[in-house]
C-alpha cells in the first residue's frame, strides 16, 4: 500500500516537472549562422586574401559578395521552437520610463561606423511579455532565456528572423 502511494507521488511529481519542459540551452551567436553562409567559408573560396592588393578587382568582388551574404543572412531553422539562453547587448525599442517591453539583442556593443551592423541573423528581436526587464540602459549586457522562433526571411517579414518571447532577462555578470 505504501509502495503504491510512493509511486503515485513520484509520477505526479515527474509530470509536474515535465510540464515546464526542457531547461534553456545556452546558445552561441555563431550557431545562429547557417554553415554554408559562414563568412570564413566564403573567404576560403577565394584562397589567400592577404595576397591580394587593395585595389585588386578580386578584393572588391570579395567585399561585395561578403556584403551580399551579410544582407541575405538566412536563419538556422532548426533553432525554431527551442528554449535557449543567449547573452548579448540590449538595444531598446519599446518601453516606458522604467522598464523595457521590447528590445533588440546583438552580439557586440555600439554602432561603430567602421564595421557593418550586425546582419539579420545576428540580431534577435526580444519581447518581454511581463515587461519587467529593468534594464538600466542601452547596451547593457543581459542573458535572455525563452523560446526562440526562427522563421526564414522568405516568409512574412513581421515574423521573420530570430525572435524570442523572453521568459527571463537577467544581467550578465
| 154 is a site residue for other proteins (CB under 8 A) | no
CA 141 to chain centre: 14
Residues 6+ away with beta carbon under 8 Å from 143: 85, 86, 87, 168, 169, 170, 171, 172
# residues near other proteins by CB under 8 A: 33
Strand boundaries in 76-140, DSSP class E? 83-95, 100-106, 124-127
Q: Which residue from 19, 51, 154, 158 is in contact with other proteins, where contact means CB under 8 A?
A: 158
Nearest CB to other proteins, comparing residues 57 and 97: 97
Q: What is the CA angle 155-66-89, rounded to 5?
A: 70
| 153 is a site residue for other proteins (CB under 8 A) | yes
Closest listed residue to residue 102, CA positions, set 85, 72, 124:
124
Helices (H), 23-96: 39-45, 57-72
Q: Which residue from 51, 96, 154, 173 is in contact with other proteins, where contact means CB under 8 A?
A: 96
Interaction pattern, residues 51-90, with other proteins; x per rule: CB under 8 A: --------------------x-------------------
Nearest CB to other proteins, comparing residues 38 and 71: 71
Binding site for other proteins (CB under 8 A): 71, 91-98, 101-104, 106, 111, 113, 116-120, 123-125, 137-138, 153, 157-158, 160-163
Amino acid at each position: 500500500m505504501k509502495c503504491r502511494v510512493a509511486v503515485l507521488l513520484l509520477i505526479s511529481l515527474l509530470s509536474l516537472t515535465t510540464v515546464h519542459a526542457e531547461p534553456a540551452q545556452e546558445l552561441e551567436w555563431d550557431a545562429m549562422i547557417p554553415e554554408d553562409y559562414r563568412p570564413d567559408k566564403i573567404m576560403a573560396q577565394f584562397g589567400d586574401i592577404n595576397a591580394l592588393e587593395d585595389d585588386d578587382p578580386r578584393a572588391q568582388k570579395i567585399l561585395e559578395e561578403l556584403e551580399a551574404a551579410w544582407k541575405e543572412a538566412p536563419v538556422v531553422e532548426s533553432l525554431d521552437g527551442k528554449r535557449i539562453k543567449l547573452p548579448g547587448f540590449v538595444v531598446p525599442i519599446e518601453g516606458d520610463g522604467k522598464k523595457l517591453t521590447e528590445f533588440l539583442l546583438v552580439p557586440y556593443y555600439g554602432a561603430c561606423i567602421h564595421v557593418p551592423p550586425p546582419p539579420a541573423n545576428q540580431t534577435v528581436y526580444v519581447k518581454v511579455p511581463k515587461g519587467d526587464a529593468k534594464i538600466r540602459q542601452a547596451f547593457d549586457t543581459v542573458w535572455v532565456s525563452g523560446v526562440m522562433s526562427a522563421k526564414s526571411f522568405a516568409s512574412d517579414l513581421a515574423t521573420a528572423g530570430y525572435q524570442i518571447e523572453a521568459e527571463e532577462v537577467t544581467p550578465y555578470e
